[in-house]
């Protein structure tokens, strides 16, 4: 019971923190603000992919595809129908914009979830490498379809999207994502996900409908990827199909693996770390106290970034937080789990 309350308090505290930080956002350098928003978006992407790859053990490489659907649907909704909806909500006051933004993000998330369902039902009967290839192919199909859809700009990209994304929305939604994923894992569904991951045959033998749990994880993960896509589209105000290629999926997978598969805190920390690292490396070549050679190498920041990834994987193959003791032991001693927890 105490733990349940703690989770809710943490969520509330995070949302309040997001609101406070957002209140001061005009005082923050717009570059840092952009990085802070990217951190939030990457946390949502990584935590939601972790639900599929980490907790349920299904290796998906199509997360960028779901993000693309969310980004394009949300952008299309707010660009094509935003003005009409704003009028219906009563003008351009912050509350109407907030309501519109929630609506378009939900639209993007739901579209991605439907796509997750469509691709998940047939393909989740596959395992391991086969599933990875199918999801990879699916992500590419989405990208090519968008590239050939002239209504959203095709290969030109979609420009002129309203810049609704603020620090508050990003961080509040990131906190909500973490809260919901953690709650889901602690629920009976979570037991189902973990059983499917640990031993699928044993799970089947116990009467667990493994396909159903896999599809649920997939659809929920896709939903949050779609919401993240919507936030991203309304943050950069311009999206291009080539930004959602399989490289983007790999980036998210790296966050999950680096954070430790199946550790929400670790994955969120990895998302923060990698986003900050990539941006921080921009400054290294500008430090005049560094030797010339180091600065020259630092100019190509991707080299350092890759070296850090290799070093982290060698030093902590289990992921950043992967080795922390599980809470599970305390749980088993108290079998009367509140199903709503």
Partner 1 sequence: MKTFLRAVLPIALCTFALSLTSRAQDIVVGEFASLTGSEATFGVNSSNGVELAREQIDSAGGLLNGRKIKIVLEDDQSKPGQPSAAVKKLIASDKSIAILGEIASSRSLEAAPICQAAKIPMITPGSTNPKVTTIGDYIFRVCFNDKFQGQADARFALENLKVKKVAILADVKSDYSQGLQRYFKEYFTSHGGVVAEERSYSGGGTDRDFRAQLTSLKSAQPDAIFIPGYYTEVGLIAKQARSLGIKVPLFGGDGWDSPKLAAIGGSALNGCYFTTHFSTQDPNPKVQDFVKNYQAKYKVMPDGMAPLGYDAMMILGDAIKTAGSTDADKIRDALTKVKNFEGVTGSITIDADRNASKSAVVLEVQNGAYKFATRIAP
> How many other CB atoms are found less than 10 A from the CB of residue 253?
22
**Residue of 300, 324, 327, 337 interacting with partner 1 (CB under 8 A):** 300
* 159 strand-pairing partners: 238
Q: How near is the Cβ of 309 to partner 1 at its closest, in Å?
A: 15
Does 232 help bind partner 1 (rule: CB under 8 A)?
Answer: yes
Cα–Cα distance, 314 to 232 (Å, whole number)? 32
Residues 48 and 179: beta-carbon distance below 8 Å:
no
Cα–Cα distance, 53 to 45 (Å, whole number)? 12
Closer Cβ to partner 1, 90 or 154, answer by number: 154
If you ran DSSP here, which 8-state letter would residue 239 be given? E
**Residue of 11, 18, 22, 38 interacting with partner 1 (CB under 8 A):** 38
Point out which span in 7-15, 116-124, 258-266, 283-291 binds partner 1 (CB under 8 A).
Answer: 283-291
CA-nearest of 254, 196, 203, 170 to 57 is 196
Q: Which residues contact 320 (CB under 8 A, 6 or more apart)?
A: 258, 259, 260, 263, 266, 269, 270, 273, 312
**Residue of 26, 29, 329, 333 interacting with partner 1 (CB under 8 A):** 29
Q: How near is the Cβ of 236 to partner 1 at its closest, in Å?
A: 4
Point out which span in 46-54, 76-84, 281-289, 310-318 binds partner 1 (CB under 8 A).
Answer: 281-289
Point out which span in 203-211, 255-263, 298-306, 327-335 binds partner 1 (CB under 8 A).
Answer: 298-306
Does 130 help bind partner 1 (rule: CB under 8 A)?
Answer: no
CA-nearest of 48, 59, 271 to 181 is 48
Does 209 help bind partner 1 (rule: CB under 8 A)?
Answer: no
Give me 329's structure tokens. Answer: 């032991």
Sites of contact with partner 1 (CB under 8 A): 17, 20-21, 24, 28-35, 38, 147-148, 154-157, 159, 232, 235-240, 242-243, 247, 279, 282-283, 286, 288, 299-302
């Amino acid at each position: 019971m105490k733990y349940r309350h703690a989770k809710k308090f943490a969520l509330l505290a995070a949302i309040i923190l997001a609101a406070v930080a957002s209140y001061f956002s005009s005082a923050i350098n717009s570059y840092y603000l952009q990085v802070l928003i990217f951190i939030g978006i990457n946390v949502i992407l990584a935590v939601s992919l972790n639900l599929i790859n980490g907790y349920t053990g299904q290796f998906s490489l199509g997360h960028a595809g779901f993000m693309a659907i969310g980004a394009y649907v949300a952008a299309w909704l707010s660009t094509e129908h935003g003005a009409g909806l704003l009028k219906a909500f009563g003008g351009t006051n912050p509350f109407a914009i907030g309501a519109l933004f929630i609506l378009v993000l939900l639209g993007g998330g739901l579209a991605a979830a439907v796509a997750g369902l469509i691709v998940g039902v047939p393909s989740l009967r596959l395992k391991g490498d086969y599933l990875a290839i199918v999801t990879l192919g699916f992500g590419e199909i989405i990208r090519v379809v968008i590239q050939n859809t002239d209504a959203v700009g095709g290969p030109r990209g979609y420009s002129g999207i309203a810049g609704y994304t603020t620090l508050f929305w990003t961080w509040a939604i990131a906190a909500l994502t973490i809260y919901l994923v953690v709650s889901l894992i602690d629920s009976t569904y979570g037991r189902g996900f973990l059983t499917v991951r640990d031993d699928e045959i044993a799970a089947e033998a116990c009467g667990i409908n493994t396909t159903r749990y896999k599809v649920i994880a997939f659809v929920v993960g896709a939903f949050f990827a779609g919401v993240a896509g919507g936030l991203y589209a309304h943050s950069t105000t311009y999206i291009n199909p080539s930004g959602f290629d399989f490289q983007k999926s790999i980036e998210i997978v790296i966050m999950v693996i680096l954070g430790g598969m199946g550790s929400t805190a670790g994955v969120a920390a990895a998302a923060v770390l990698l986003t900050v690292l990539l941006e921080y490396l921009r400054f290294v070549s500008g430090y005049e106290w560094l030797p010339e050679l180091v600065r020259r190498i630092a100019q190509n920041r991707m080299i350092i970034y890759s070296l850090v990834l290799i070093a982290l994987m060698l030093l902590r193959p289990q992921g950043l937080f992967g080795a922390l003791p599980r809470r599970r032991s305390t749980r088993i001693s108290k079998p009367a789990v509140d199903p709503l927890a």
